[in-house]
Copies of this chain bind each other. A is one copy, B any other.
Amino acid sequence: MSEETDVRHASGVDEAGKDRNIRRLRRIEGQVRGLQKMVEEDRYCTDIMTQIASVHEALRGVSRELMRNHLRHCTADAVRSGEARAEEIYEELLDLIYSRTR
């Protein structure tokens, strides 16, 4: 999706955090390919599940970085934009934080 067609951008992006996240996601892609190999080779189930746990943890690292950016830029902007916009972003945040699929 190009910037032109994307209706909502981040209010601002920390470039260092963005670089860290791209590096993390490349490592995660490698881990997922490693998992395919482990499954193909009939590796021991709990070894594969331990490796999956490590991918979950790495994804949480990406998510935490995004959330920091979200609080610093989007949430802070919303707070300054007045109560209606702030309430909207709080409910969005609560849905995200208490979602059971994180």
Using a CB–CB distance below 8 Å, which chain A residues touch chain B? 1-3, 6, 8-10, 13, 18, 21-22, 25-26, 28-29, 32-33, 35-36, 39-50, 52-57, 59-60, 62-64, 66-72, 74-76, 79-80, 86-87, 90, 92-94, 96-102
Contacts and interface: CB of A to CB of B under 8 A. Distances in A.
B28 A64 contact: no
Contact of A43 (B6, B41, B53, B94): B6
Given A25-B35, A66-B48, A43 B101 contact: no
A63 B58 CA distance: 16
A101 B70 CA distance: 23
A64 B94 contact: yes
